[in-house]
Amino acid sequence: MAFVLLAVTGWAAVREGGVRDARGAAVAAWLRVSVGGHRTPDPERAGPGAVARFFASLSRPQALRLARRYALVVGNLDGAPPALRYQANRYALAKARALELARAASGALTPAGRTDAARRAERYGSLLAPRRQILAFDPAGAGRVAEVLGDLTTAARIAVVVPGVGSDVLTFERDTRPYAAPAGMARALYRRERATAPTARTAVIAWDDYTAPSSIGLDASTANLAERGATRLLALLAALPRGRRVALFCHSYGSVLCGVAAPRLRAGQVADIAVFGSPGMHAHRAAALHTDAHIWAARDSGDWIEDVPHLEFAGLGHGTDPVSAAFGARVVSAAGADGHPGYLAPGTASLANFTRIALGDYAAVSCARPACTAGLT
């Protein structure tokens, strides 16, 4: 039985366990470290404020040594300086790439295992390209990653793109229809922001730092993974500089996650939550999200998600359709969107509208239903 299981799964389980053990060992070693009389903060228990104070107490050489030695810890530590996290994740990606290249050439793996290793090595190599700012990276399991476009420390407006089903390290970016993947969605939004308001201080985060459902199925029909992802999203938001205006752009199952997170958002931090291609926000109406953020929704007429039953019963389903009048969201035009994954394709009304929302230019938003900008200035 064990032989059959290994033959079916290839080397994935072995690789996943090894990576997880490596990160666990790094965290355990990290917790035994003391620098300048200060104990290292617990990644699971210390808040972003405590983490920030710890790194503020270090010299640059001390911080860089920690980033190199404990890359899988520092690179994912909310509250650590973004530039230090970028550097730590470069170390982690380089090591992970070397490991996957070795596995891709290993005769001990199945052909499927070697192919998967080669694909991961290629993805890690892409993430290592010059000037890319990787805010989070975890190679365990299907993999998690987050990337920053712009200067996160000086941005007055920060947009966070939250993807949905099938999002992982291998699908983080794609060569064809790049706007259908998290990295491409974020790039399209950031480029449109820069073209629309060149002097605005903006940043966009492609946030694929949660375990999403791998496909349409039971995991996608419940909020279990959204609950866990919401905790991670709230940790990210808590680590962002105070006083920034944040907008969340939540696609597909990512809108379930954003709906679950909404009631726990810090008052006044998130100005807007826009959902698109949404199966629901795990709520029956926008008011039930208990947030002061403006709730926006968009859906392309060719999006298959329209045919998914919008209900919630016995833990299955995600509530009222966000573009329905009963839900009460501000519904914007998605004219020209390229089906379910194409809301941020260049030239679409949805990309233009999301850009205006991110910039706070509500008067320029084009509505799919009258008065979607009523009461906004």
Of residues 18, 2, 1, 8, the one with CA closest to residue 112: 8
Terminal-to-terminal C-alpha distance of the chain: 64
- Read off the tokens for 291: 């947030």
* Residue with the two structure tokens 């002061």: 292
Of residues 40, 20, 21, the one with CA closest to residue 30: 40
In degrees to the nearest 10, what's the CA dihedral of 20, 26, 28, 29? 160
Q: Which residue type occupies 351?
A: L
Domains and CATH numbers, the chain: 1-131 (no CATH), 142-377 (3.40.50.1820)
Per residue of the chain (377 residues), give pLDDT as tens: 232 222 222 333 334 444 546 677 889 999 999 898 889 999 999 999 999 999 999 999 999 999 999 999 999 999 999 999 999 999 999 999 999 999 999 999 999 999 999 999 999 999 999 999 999 999 999 999 999 999 999 999 999 999 999 999 999 999 999 999 999 999 999 999 999 999 999 999 999 999 998 877 677 778 799 999 999 999 999 999 889 999 999 999 999 999 999 999 999 999 999 999 999 999 999 999 999 999 999 999 889 887 776 655 446 666 899 999 999 999 999 999 989 999 999 999 999 999 999 999 999 999 999 999 999 97
* Residue with the two structure tokens 């290629």: 122
Of residues 69, 142, 128, 63, the one with CA closest to residue 97: 128
| Cα–Cα dist 363/62, whole Å | 49
Q: Residue 194 to residues 184, 286, 342, 347, 348: CA-CA distances in angstroms?
A: 15, 31, 20, 15, 17
**Helices 224-239 and 48-56, packing angle to 10 deg:** 40
Q: Are 317 and 310 in contact (CB under 8 A)?
A: yes
Q: Residue 156 to residues 80, 152, 178, 199: CA-CA distances in angstroms?
A: 19, 9, 27, 11
